[in-house]
């Protein structure tokens, strides 16, 4: 069996292990969207860039409601969530031209949730050949764009 390592995530995971304030709740309440990397705010959900992305444009669709249970999301809220996922994919396709996407929720620590207390859907753009040796051998990730450039592109897309 092979094990994939992501050592660059440890700093984030160790700081957000359930103690202290929820970073998603803080982002939902704080109006400094650019500083918090919030690209869009809907009625019940917001779109935020991942501060430690697996790929350029890695974002999350997050409910304003602090919950770790999918059953706490109403059908209307679920509709908004899927609408924002589709909008996110459309804006990422338009600006960054990925070849595909990974979508996923990790529900609970056993499932790999870095922030298990607050639901969030990951949207990760992927390109053919984007998996390489750099994260393992070089302990580095190569991002084609800065977080601020990605933020600008997506915030502009959502503002239309």
Active-site hit among 91, 118, 120, 122: 120
Whether 58 sits among the annotated catalytic residues: the reply is no
**DSSP letters spanning the chain:** ------GGGHHHHHH-SS-S--HHHHHHH---HHHHTEEEE-SSEEEEE-SS-SSTT-EEEEESS--S-GGGS-HHHHHHHHHHHHHHHHHHHHHH--SEEEEE---SGGGT-SSTTS--EEEEEE-TT---SHHHHSS----SS-HHHHHHHHHHHHH-
For the annotated catalytic residues, the residue numbers are 120
């Amino acid at each position: 069996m092979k094990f994939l390592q992501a050592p660059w995530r440890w700093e984030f995971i160790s700081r957000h292990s359930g103690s202290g304030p929820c970073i998603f709740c803080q982002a939902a309440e704080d109006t400094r969207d650019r500083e918090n990397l919030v690209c869009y705010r809907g009625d019940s959900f917001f779109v935020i860039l991942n501060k430690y992305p697996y790929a350029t444009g890695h974002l999350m669709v997050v409910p304003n409601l602090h919950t770790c249970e999918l059953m706490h999301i109403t059908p209307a809220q679920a509709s908004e969530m899927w609408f924002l996922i589709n909008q996110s994919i459309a804006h990422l396709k338009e600006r960054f031209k990925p070849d595909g996407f990974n979508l996923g929720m990790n529900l609970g620590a056993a499932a790999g949730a870095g922030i298990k207390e607050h639901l969030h859907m990951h949207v990760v753009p992927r390109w053919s050949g984007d998996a390489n040796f750099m994260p393992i051998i070089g302990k580095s990730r190569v991002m084609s764009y800065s977080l601020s450039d990605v933020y600008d592109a997506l915030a502009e897309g959502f503002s239309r």
